[in-house]
Chains A and B, each alone.
Chain A
C-alpha cells in the first residue's frame, strides 16, 4: 500500500515533465539574406535555424509569393542547431509560410516576410563592420546607387540570391567570417562576372581574383574606403556581358515541335481528307464507319507509351586566360510520363515558377546528385532555364595572334567540330581540327555565315583586337545515360 502514493507522485512528475516539453520553444528562427532587403519577385533566400531535443529527420515546407512550394528533409542531431538555407521569391503582397515537423513529430507553423523592398536604382551592398566605411560609400555614391549595409552573416549561401544586388563591397575581416557555403556562393557570383570591390589583404584578394570570371574585369581591390567608392562608381558604369536569354536559346535550339503534336496533326489531316474523299465517292456506308474507328486505333497505337523527350540547348562563354566559364542552358521536356534524371554537374539549386511546377523537393543534405523529376503530358512541354558557372574550365581550342591573324590550335586528343570565328570585322569558317592541328585566319576568305549561332558573334565583329570563336561543344557534363541530344555551343573570346 505504501507504494501507491509514490506511484502517484511519479505519474505527476512524468506529466509535468511532458508538459514542460510541450512548452519548449522549438519554432525555427528565420533570417533573410541581405538583412531582409529584397526585390519583388526576384529570388533570394531564407535561412532557417532548427533546434530539436531529439535527433532524426525534420521536414520543412516553404511557400513563398511567386514560386512553387518547396519541401526538404534534413537530419538533425539532438540539441544542435541546424541551419537550412532555402530559396524564396518574396513578394510585397504575400508573406512566406513556413511549416513542417521536427524529429519528435512536433509541428511548427509560421509566417514571415522580407522587410525592405528595393526597386529601381542599382544596389550596392557594403558588407561591413568597421573596415568598410559604409558612410563614406554612401556619401560618394549618393544619386548613383542605393547603398545598403549588411553583416557577413547576411551574405547568401546560394549564388542565385546575388541577383537582387548590383555590386558588393566586402572587407577582408568580413570575408574571413564567411562559412563554406557563403564562400562557395560568392565564388559562383564572381565566376558569373559579378561586381565586387574588395577592401582587404592581398593574400585573400589573390584567392578571390582567381575565381573571378570575365578575366577579372568586374572584381577589383581597393586600398582604402575612398578608393572603394570610386571603384564602385566605375564598375557600375560598366555593363556585364549578357548571356543569351530564353528566346535566344530557343532560336539556337534545333528542337522541332513535340513529335506527338506533329503526329497528331498529320493524323487528323489524313483522317479528314480520307473521310471527305470516302464521303464523296463511296457508294457503301461501311468505309464511313470504319475510318473513324481505324484512325482512332492508329492514334492510340502511335501515341500511347511514348517516353518523355528531353532536349538541352546550352551556351557556355569563356575568355582566353580565364579559368572559369559561364553558361546558360535551356532544358525542354515534352511527351507523356515522368522523366527522371540527373542534371549536369555545374547546375545547383534553381527555383522554377509556380505555373510550371506545383511542387519541388530539395535534398539539402545531398545536393550533389542534382536529381530532377519532371512530369509532362503528351502534347505539353516544360522549359527550365538554368544559369551557372563552371570552375576550372579548359577550352578545347586555343587562340593566339600570329602575323596579325588569329591562329587556332587543337591541343586536345579529340577532333573538334567546325565553327565560326569573328575577327577584325570579318567572319571566318573554322574547319574541323584534328588533334594537334593548327589553323590560321591569314589568307582565308571571309564568309557571310548563316548558321544558327552566327548572329551571336555579331557583337564581337567590330571590337578592336577582339576575336570570338563559336564552336559546337558539350561543356555541361551530364552524368548517367540520360544525356539529352541537342545543341550546345561554346564561345571563346580573346583580346589579342
Chain B
C-alpha cells in the first residue's frame, strides 16, 4: 500500500495546480462574449502530462525496495488519478479519445521502463544507489522538459 499511496499523493500534487489553473482559465473565459474552452482544456491535458512525466522521472531517484507488483500498482495509481479529468476533456470534445488512450498507454510504457531501470540500478550497486538514481533522474527530467513539444506531438498527432 505504501507505493500505491505514494503514487496517489504524487498524482494529487501534480493534478492540483493544473486543475486550479484550468478552473481559473475557464472562469475568465466565461466573462467574454464567446467561451471556447477547447484550447484551455487541451493545454491543461498537455501540462498535466508534462508535469506527471517530470514527476515520474523524479521518482526514479527513490531506490525501490518494495515488491515489484506493488510498485507497478503504485505507478498505475499515479497515472489513473487524472482519468476523470481526461474523460471530461474527451466528452467536451477538446481532444480525441484515441489521443487520450495513446497518452495513457505511452505514460504506462514510460513508467514501466523507468521502473525497470530503477530496479536494474539497484542490482548494479547494492551499497549506495542514490548518486546513480539522482543523475539518471535529473537527466530524464531535463530531456522530458526540453523535448516536451516533440514527445507531446507524437501523442497528440
Q: Which of A's residues lie within 8 Å of B, judged by CB?
A: 246, 257, 260-261, 264-265, 267-268, 271-272, 275-276, 279, 283-285, 288-289, 292-293, 295-296, 298-300, 303-304, 334, 336, 355-356, 377-383, 385
Listed A/B pairs (21) with beta-carbon separation below 8 Å: A246-B33, A268-B85, A271-B84, A272-B19, A285-B77, A288-B4, A288-B8, A292-B80, A292-B81, A292-B83, A295-B83, A296-B84, A296-B86, A299-B87, A299-B88, A299-B91, A300-B91, A356-B33, A378-B93, A380-B38, A382-B35
CB neighbours (8 Å) of A385 from chain B are 33
Most chain B beta-carbon contacts within 10 A, residue among A271, A284, A378: A378
Which 10 interchain pairs have the tightest Cβ spacing? A378-B92, A292-B83, A296-B87, A379-B37, A295-B84, A377-B93, A292-B80, A279-B8, A383-B33, A303-B91
Residue in contact with A265 in the complex, picked from B9, B23, B92, CB distance below 8 Å: B23
Determine the distance from Cα of A271 to Cα of B16 in the docked complex, in whole angstroms: 12
Q: Which residue of A lies closest to B94 (CB)?
A: A377
| B80 → A minimal CB distance (Å) | 4
Determine the distance from Cα of A293 to Cα of B15 in the docked complex, in whole angstroms: 16
Residue in contact with B34 in the complex, picked from A264, A300, A356, CB distance below 8 Å: A356
Q: How many residues of B contact A (CB 8 A)?
A: 34
| B101 → A minimal CB distance (Å) | 12
Determine the distance from Cα of A336 to Cα of B26 in the docked complex, in whole angstroms: 16
- Judge whether B140 is part of the interface by a CB distance below 8 angstroms: no
Residue in contact with A275 in the complex, picked from B12, B41, B86, CB distance below 8 Å: B12
19 additional A-B residue pairs with CB within 8 Å, beyond A279-B9, A380-B34: A257-B30, A260-B92, A268-B19, A268-B84, A275-B81, A276-B12, A279-B5, A279-B8, A288-B8, A289-B73, A292-B83, A295-B87, A303-B91, A336-B93, A356-B34, A377-B36, A377-B93, A380-B37, A385-B33
Do A289 and B77 have beta carbons less than 8 Å apart?
yes
Determine the distance from Cα of A283 to Cα of B83 in the docked complex, in whole angstroms: 22
- Judge whether B150 is part of the interface by a CB distance below 8 angstroms: no
Determine the distance from Cα of A437 to Cα of B6 in the docked complex, in whole angstroms: 73
| B12 → A minimal CB distance (Å) | 7
Determine the distance from Cα of A295 to Cα of B1 in the docked complex, in whole angstroms: 22
CB neighbours (8 Å) of B12 from chain A are 272, 275-276, 279
| B3 → A minimal CB distance (Å) | 9
Determine the distance from Cα of A246 to Cα of B32 in the docked complex, in whole angstroms: 10
| B51 → A minimal CB distance (Å) | 16
- Judge whether B76 is part of the interface by a CB distance below 8 angstroms: yes
Within 8 A of A (CB), among B79-113: 80-88, 91-94
| A198 → B minimal CB distance (Å) | 37
Do B76 and A264 have beta carbons less than 8 Å apart?
no
Determine the distance from Cα of A400 to Cα of B9 in the docked complex, in whole angstroms: 71
CB neighbours (8 Å) of A334 from chain B are 35
Q: Mark B137-148, 1 if CB is under 8 A from A, else 0.
A: 000000000000
CB neighbours (8 Å) of A296 from chain B are 83-84, 86-87
CB neighbours (8 Å) of B5 from chain A are 279
Say what secondary structure dominates the interface of chain A.
helix
Most chain A beta-carbon contacts within 10 A, residue among B38, B82, B84: B84
CB neighbours (8 Å) of B38 from chain A are 377, 380
Do A377 and B92 have beta carbons less than 8 Å apart?
yes
Determine the distance from Cα of A285 to Cα of B41 in the docked complex, in whole angstroms: 30
Do B23 and A267 have beta carbons less than 8 Å apart?
no
Most chain B beta-carbon contacts within 10 A, residue among A246, A275, A288, A379: A379
Q: Which residue of B lies closest to A285 (CB)?
A: B4
CB neighbours (8 Å) of B77 from chain A are 285, 288-289
Determine the distance from Cα of A284 to Cα of B77 in the docked complex, in whole angstroms: 13
Residue in contact with B26 in the complex, picked from A275, A288, A355, A379, CB distance below 8 Å: A379
| A337 → B minimal CB distance (Å) | 10
Given A268-B19, A292-B84, A382-B34: A275 touches B92 (CB 8 Å cut-off): no
CB neighbours (8 Å) of A265 from chain B are 23
CB neighbours (8 Å) of B4 from chain A are 285, 288
Determine the distance from Cα of A170 to Cα of B101 in the docked complex, in whole angstroms: 67
CB neighbours (8 Å) of A355 from chain B are 34
CB neighbours (8 Å) of A377 from chain B are 36-38, 92-94
Residue in contact with B91 in the complex, picked from A272, A276, A292, A378, CB distance below 8 Å: A378
CB neighbours (8 Å) of A300 from chain B are 87, 91
Q: Which residue of B lies closest to A265 (CB)?
A: B23
CB neighbours (8 Å) of A298 from chain B are 84
CB neighbours (8 Å) of B83 from chain A are 292-293, 295-296
Q: Mark B34-58, 1 if CB is under 8 A from A, else 0.
A: 1111100100000000000000000
| A383 → B minimal CB distance (Å) | 5
Residue in contact with B35 in the complex, picked from A288, A292, A304, A379, CB distance below 8 Å: A379
CB neighbours (8 Å) of B80 from chain A are 289, 292-293
Most chain A beta-carbon contacts within 10 A, residue among B34, B37, B38, B93: B34
| B8 → A minimal CB distance (Å) | 5
Determine the distance from Cα of A292 to Cα of B7 in the docked complex, in whole angstroms: 14
Determine the distance from Cα of A28 to Cα of B70 in the docked complex, in whole angstroms: 75
Determine the distance from Cα of A276 to Cα of B30 in the docked complex, in whole angstroms: 29
Q: Which residue of A lies closest to B6 (CB)?
A: A279
Determine the distance from Cα of A298 to Cα of B77 in the docked complex, in whole angstroms: 19
CB neighbours (8 Å) of B87 from chain A are 295-296, 299-300
Residue in contact with A285 in the complex, picked from B26, B73, B92, CB distance below 8 Å: B73
Q: Which residue of A lies closest to B84 (CB)?
A: A295
Most chain B beta-carbon contacts within 10 A, residue among A267, A268, A382, A385: A268
